[in-house]
Each structure stands twice: as structure tokens, then as C-alpha cells.
């Protein structure tokens, strides 16, 4: 879908609009006059964000020691694979998404990236895989400070298997956001797997402890004194969705066609946050928006040691039991939410997953059910750019529909 600087999702095609001018003195003379509208549309055109997908599949026969590698789209397997005995055949699929960064006339730079590695049992098939899409764009900023992470099966405890999704919005620099991308899911996985209690996990304590450990880790670096990152992470299990939010990133679920907020933004002007900051001796100043001490426009983050104790790293945690009506979940940085409401974002994703909205992909990615979540994430990023977002935009769309 081509995006232009229009507030509406469906913009009219950018074609030359001409006006017929008939000279009254000579009916044989007709002139075509190009209107201002055509020139304006031409100036306001935005280039489409093209994604490419490279798929590499490695097959390994259990116990056989044979390895067969090849492109999943090129040809059939070089060798017939058989499963002998009780040992299952394992398949590892490595997917990577990339695109070239381009500058257009408006100075907008579009980039996308994401990766995933899956290991599944062939006997169970690939139908049980969770489908998701990740897109992160630099937008109109001069530096990319967002970071994203998606890990399927990042932790397991007993018969439960957990998937992890995280969006990190850095400010002041990239150090803290990059550190969270590399480490936070590992900290959460360790906490889950080493929990010796037979009872249900106390997710609020687990997440508060993990965010606190992450904050301590970056605290040791001098850069974290004036650099920070907001974070929203989701741990998805078959029975529930756990969301921990620290800052102004956001998670939203669509259930039975209606948006369900899984987090609440931590803004300094929020009544309870304002009371907490002032009780600690701080102030919230309206300086180009409400800011803690006139500096930071979010009241919670990882890092930002120079703003302690007014800015804290404690997340708010929600645990949502899954139902048959759950459709998908969106995690995104404020570059998206500043210009799109929960309702609009959910409507766009729903139409994408149902195939009613399709953007122009390169030939490497055909439009089908397996990549519609990626398509939805890209459409949201493009729409936010077209609606005037001036921040980095990072989006993860997770398909929660059960096969």
C-alpha cells in the first residue's frame, strides 16, 4: 500500500489533475491547465517501505548425522527424509527481514529489520507456530534509538512454553535500548526456569525483579547516567498473556473485534505519577509538553540515573487470561501511538490479517497467511509516518488466533 501524507488510510491516487479551459472566443481552442492539487500531491508522495525475506532451512535427520541445506523456495529436498524410531525429526528455520534505507524528498528515512529462529517438531507440523511481524523504522529522526526483540520458545517450565516480545524506545542515545534488546529476555527466562515454586508464577514480582536487574546492569555504564529507554514486553503462553510496561510504549490486544489496553502510558501529567514525583521532591514542568524536571517526557524508564528517584524503573504488570475471542496483540513505541489510537490501529491490523488491506511486497514475500502479521506491522509503520509521526516507529504484531 503506497503511503502519502494524508490523514486518511485510503488516499486518492496521485495522478495529474487537469482542468479543461474553453476559450469562448474560439471554440476550437481547448487548453489543459495543471492544478495546484496535482503539484501538491506530487510533493507529498512518500516512498513505499519494501521488505525482503530470505529463508534458509536446515534439515537434520535424528540419529543419522546427515545435514541438508537449501533454499525453501528453490527446489525440493535433495534427499528423502525419514523418521526412524521414536526420535523426531527436527527442523530449524532461520528467517531474516531487511530493507535498504532511502531518503525521499521529505527527508524521511525508512528502515526495517527483524529476525527469528525456530525449532519445531516436524511430526507436530508447523501449524502450531505463533505468527508475528516486526518492523522498526527510523522515521524523521536523525538517529535510530528504538530496539525490538522477538523470541519464540524463549523459556519453558514443565509443560508450559513461553514466547517473548519486547519494544524498547531509547532516549539520549542507543546504549540502554540496545542492552535491553540483548539481555532482558534472558533475565526473564532465567527467572522463569529457576523458579522452584510449584505454584503459579507471581508475575508482578517476577517482572519487577527482572526490570530492576536490567536497570542495575546498565547502571554500571557511565552512558546510562543520562541515557535511558522505555520498555514494554509481553510473555505469551497458551493460557495467558503477561505484559510489563515501563514508560510510554504500549501493548493493545484485539478481543472479539474490540481493543483491550494491556498497559497504561507512564506520562508525568498522569495523576498518580504526578503525585509520586512531587512526593519524592521532584517537579513536572510544561516545557514543550509535560516533562520530569523539564527534561524527560516519561515518568518511568530503565537507565536515566540522573533523574532518580523521580523517574523509576518499576514496571506495571497485567496478566490477561486468554480466550477463544483473542485475535492479535500490538506492541509499539510512542512513535506509533502519538498519531494512532488503539481503535484505529486494531482496525487496520484486523483488515490486514483478513486480507482486506495489502501493501506492495517484493517477490520474495508472497501475500499469504504466514506473513500477514508482518504486513500488518509494516502498514501501521507506514500509516504512522503518513500521519506525521516525527519519532522512531517500532511495531510488533502477534497473531493470537489459535489454529
Domains of the chain by residue range: 1-45, 47-264+323-399
H or E segment to which residue 21 belongs: strand 18-22
Per-residue model confidence (pLDDT) at position 45 = 39
Within 8 A by CB and 6+ apart from 290, the residues are: 267, 268, 269, 284, 297
Per-residue model confidence (pLDDT) at position 328 = 98
pLDDT in tens, 315-362: 999 999 999 999 999 999 999 999 999 999 999 999 999 988 877 654
3-state SS assignment for residue 226? coil
What are the grid coordinates assigned to 120, written together?
Answer: 519445531
pLDDT interval class at 12 (50, 70, 90):
very low
Q: Please tell me the distance from the alpha carbon of residue 189 to that of residue 166, in angstroms, as a whole number.
A: 13
Instruction: State the residue for C-alpha cell 547502571.
Output: 219
pLDDT interval class at 72 (50, 70, 90):
very low
Per-residue model confidence (pLDDT) at position 360 = 60
Sign of the dihedral through C-alpha 90, 369, 95, 240: negative
Q: What CATH code is assigned to 47-264+323-399?
A: 3.60.40.10
Q: Please tell me the distance from the alpha carbon of residue 336 to that of residue 127, in angstroms, as a whole number.
A: 31
Cα–Cα nearest to 298, from 333, 339, 337, 268: 268
Of all residues in the chain, the percent with pLDDT exceeding 90 is 59
Q: Please tell me the distance from the alpha carbon of residue 66 to that of residue 402, in angstroms, as a whole number.
A: 34
pLDDT in tens, 285-319: 999 999 999 999 999 999 999 999 999 999 999 99
pLDDT interval class at 130 (50, 70, 90):
confident
Q: Are 67 and 60 contacting, i.e. CB atoms less than 8 angstroms apart?
A: yes
pLDDT in tens, 24-40: 344 334 343 444 444 44
Q: How many residues does the chain have?
A: 403
Per-residue model confidence (pLDDT) at position 158 = 87
What are the grid coordinates assigned to 202, written together?
Answer: 507471581
- Global pTM reads 0.71
Torsion angle (degrees, nearest 10) of CA 124, 125, 127, 128: 40
Cα–Cα nearest to 229, from 110, 139, 144: 144
Evaluate if residue 62 carries a pLDDT over 70. Answer: no
Mean pLDDT of the region 208-212: 97
Alpha helical stretches, state H, 247-332 = 271-279
Q: Are 256 and 322 contacting, i.e. CB atoms less than 8 angstroms apart?
A: no
**What integer best gives the mean pLDDT of the chain?**
75
Mean pLDDT of the region 68-81: 37
Evaluate if residue 123 carries a pLDDT over 70. Answer: no
pLDDT interval class at 383 (50, 70, 90):
very high
> Can you say how many angstroms the Cα of residue 321 is from the centroid of all Cα atoms in its chain?
22
Amino acid at each position: 500500500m503506497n503511503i502519502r501524507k494524508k490523514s486518511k488510510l485510503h488516499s486518492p491516487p496521485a495522478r495529474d489533475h487537469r482542468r479543461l479551459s474553453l476559450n469562448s472566443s474560439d471554440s476550437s481552442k481547448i487548453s489543459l491547465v495543471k492544478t495546484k492539487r496535482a503539484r501538491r500531491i506530487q510533493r507529498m508522495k512518500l516512498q513505499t517501505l519494501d521488505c525482503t525475506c530470505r529463508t534458509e532451512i536446515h534439515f537434520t535427520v535424528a540419529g543419522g548425522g546427515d545435514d541438508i541445506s537449501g533454499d525453501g523456495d528453490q527446489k525440493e529436498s535433495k534427499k528423502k527424509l525419514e523418521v526412524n524410531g521414536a526420535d523426531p525429526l527436527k527442523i530449524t528455520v532461520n528467517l531474516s527481514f531487511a530493507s535498504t534505507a532511502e531518503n525521499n524528498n521529505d527527508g524521511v528515512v525508512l528502515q526495517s529489520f527483524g529476525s527469528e529462529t525456530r525449532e519445531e517438531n516436524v511430526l507436530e507440523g508447523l501449524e502450531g507456530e505463533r505468527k508475528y511481524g516486526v518492523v522498526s523504522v527510523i522515521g524523521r529522526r536523525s538517529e535510530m534509538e528504538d530496539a525490538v526483540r522477538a523470541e519464540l520458545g524463549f523459556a519453558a517450565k514443565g509443560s508450559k512454553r513461553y514466547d517473548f516480545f519486547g519494544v524498547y524506545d531509547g532516549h539520549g542515545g542507543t546504549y540502554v535500548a540496545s542492552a535491553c534488546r540483548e539481555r532482558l529476555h534472558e533475565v526473564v527466562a532465567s527467572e522463569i526456569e529457576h523458579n522452584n515454586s510449584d505454584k503459579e508464577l507471581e508475575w508482578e514480582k517476577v517482572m519487577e525483579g527482572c526490570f530492576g536487574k536490567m536497570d542495575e546492569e546498565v547502571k554500571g555504564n557511565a552512558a546510562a547516567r543520562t541515557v535511558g529507554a522505555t520498555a514494554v514486553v509481553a510473555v505469551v503462553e497458551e493460557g495467558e498473556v503477561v505484559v510489563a510496561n515501563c514508560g510510554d510504549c504500549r501493548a493493545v490486544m484485539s478481543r472479539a473485534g474490540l481493543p483491550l489496553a494491556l498497559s497504561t502510558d507512564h506520562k508525568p501529567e498522569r495523576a498518580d505519577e504526578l503525585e509520586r514525583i512531587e512526593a519524592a521532591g521532584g517537579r513536572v514542568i510544561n516545557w514543550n509538553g509535560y516533562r520530569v524536571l523539564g527534561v524527560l517526557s516519561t515518568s518511568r524508564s530503565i537507565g536515566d540515573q540522573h533523574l532518580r528517584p523521580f523517574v523509576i524503573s518499576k514496571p506495571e504488570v497485567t496478566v490477561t487470561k486468554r480466550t477463544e475471542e483473542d485475535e492479535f496483540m500490538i506492541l509499539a513505541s510512542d512513535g506509533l501511538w502519538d498519531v494512532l489510537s488503539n481503535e484505529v490501529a486494531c482496525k487496520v491490523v484486523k483488515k490486514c490479517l483478513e486480507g482486506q488491506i495489502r501493501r506492495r511486497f517484493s517477490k520474495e514475500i508472497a501475500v499469504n497467511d504466514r506473513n500477514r502479521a508482518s504486513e500488518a506491522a509494516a502498514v501501521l509503520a507506514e500509516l504512522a509516518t503518513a500521519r506525521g509521526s516525527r519519532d522512531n516507529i517500532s511495531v510488533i504484531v502477534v497473531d493470537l488466533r489459535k489454529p
